[in-house]
Amino acid sequence: MSEVKRISVPVINTHSLMGWLVPRLRKLKTALDGGKLPEKVESDGLWQCNGYCHFTKYCWPDGVPAPSELKKKEKAKTDAVLKAMGRR
Ligand code: SF4
C-alpha cells in the first residue's frame, strides 16, 4: 500500500455499462422480490461456481459438473428441441 502505482485502464462508457448492468439488475430485483430465479450459469461460466459463489450447494447439490459435461448436456437439450421442431 505504500507504493502506489498509476496505470491507465480502459473505462467503459456509461451507455455500454448501463446496457450490461440494467438487465442483470432487473433479474436480481425479480429474484429478490420473490420471483423467478435467474438461470444457472452455462458451461463457460462454471468457474464462478467453484469457490467464488456462495450459492453452489443450492445450484449444484450433487457437485459442480465439469464444463465439458455441462456442455454435453446443453448440446443434448438443444438437439432435443431442434429434433422436436423437425429441424434435425
Ligand atoms: S453457484 Fe452461483 S454462479 Fe454458479 S450457477 Fe449458482 S448462483 Fe450462479
Report CA(61)–ligand 1 centroid distance (Å).
11
**Ligand 1 and 55: CB distance under 6 A:** yes
Report CA(48)–ligand 1 centroid distance (Å).
7
Cell of 11: 473505462
pTM: 0.60
Q: How far apart are CA 33 and CA 29, in angstroms?
A: 6
Check pLDDT > 90 for residue 56. yes
Instruction: Decide: helix, strand or coil at residue 66.
Output: coil
Report CA(42)–ligand 1 centroid distance (Å).
10
pLDDT band at 13 (very low <50, low <70, confident <90, very high): very high
21-48 pLDDT tens trace: 999 999 889 989 998 888 888 888 999 9
